[in-house]
Structure 1
């Protein structure tokens, strides 16, 4: 299409939420300068047309084909089979409107059902203010798209009446500062969301402080247990890890005292170094010979 390089693909209609799709599609066709051929049929040429009439008819016919192509590309294959025999964009648009929007009686029943749902809607304990308002405004927008008037003042009243008890302080503050009957819907929503965010921040800070205090107490308790256990081990059973000595001047190791180094030990039996009498080979040989001589005698 000429002059619509900024346009994206048209919204897709699959058989659900016709009112929303119709609003989006109408805006799309208006931006493409094709809405006029959807709302009115293209006039036929007179018997003796002028050149200007012929030119205008060709331009309108070309726009009609473009509009019909847009509608074809904006519906699913199942929906397309219902409008594929329509010759003009207006016929296709009116057929979809009649089937999915319904007649006046069906439209009135939809409005009554939506109003009943609007009146019964209340904020639940487990949902946030934003979730509740989004659900409520979805119902409000559906009612308005069906042509029924629902002023913002009624929505403001509904929100104030159905909020949870945690918002009572904020509502009282707004009542003291201004007249709630004149407050804008957007202002009320922003004020309540800000109140909910501040409350959430305070709760997070409280939880974080409690967790930090618990972690500190647990760490101190573990430290005391380890200290006490270490003291008992040192006093009674000895430390778990062997004590470290300075480097031995004889062998450079740290697992013994320099006076206990095997390199300077002297055997009492043979007077040689690097072993003790218990492991002396000369002493063992002498004892064996002493035992053997009486046996031979």
Structure 2
């Protein structure tokens, strides 16, 4: 059996903060001890158990009786090679591999409990997360995926199908037609998270277009019911109203529709079709005049 340290190598670069690997060649197989970190104790313990078994020293950790001193020291050396230097100082007073292993287990057992509690908290938040009416799908999807990624970073697996179903079942009712179509004609289990978000965003954009069209219908109906006047017609009515109102009584004050400032909200431009201004105030007309003036100015030197 090869001794620990006979074929030891550090990670390239010589940086003490990087993972240090102890290589032990047994029957042509190179064993590389993983370095223990703050978040990998579970995987680290499994790997160390397998490697120490292959090396023939795992019995020093699990044996209930006396252990050969050489085996115990080799097991202890294997563990020490796979922990950070700061932790080596913390276990330096422990004399056997079994006690060192137990100390590391207790040291990280608390961290695992905290991690599991954090995962449960995040899962409850995710379950209670629903899209608001004032929220867009991009913002809501970002919140969901951020929560999922945080759960995954704690070592808990979250399948894509879980995220897809969460998105489909937590959006507002306006996405109902799309959800029904996907569930009836699509294979939800094969949809990716990005594809789901893309479909929801596309439906949201198309819904915005339909909403704008619906909002325009009442405006068009009101505008068509109102009498459409040019500036000259409006000024003539105001002048006539002023002339006829000098001797009028207070009973017909409510009938004076045109006196005072123009209510331009009901005036439609004869140039661009938009409401709120006369044709001679239209920005499109002003822009055209400005372009024409520039063209004339450019031609004047040539004419001279």
The two structures share one fold, judged by TM-score above 0.5? no
TM range (shorter): 0.3 to 0.5
Greater relative contact order (Cα 8 A, min sep 6): structure 1 or 2?
A: 1
TM-score (norm 1): 0.43
TM-score (norm 2): 0.43
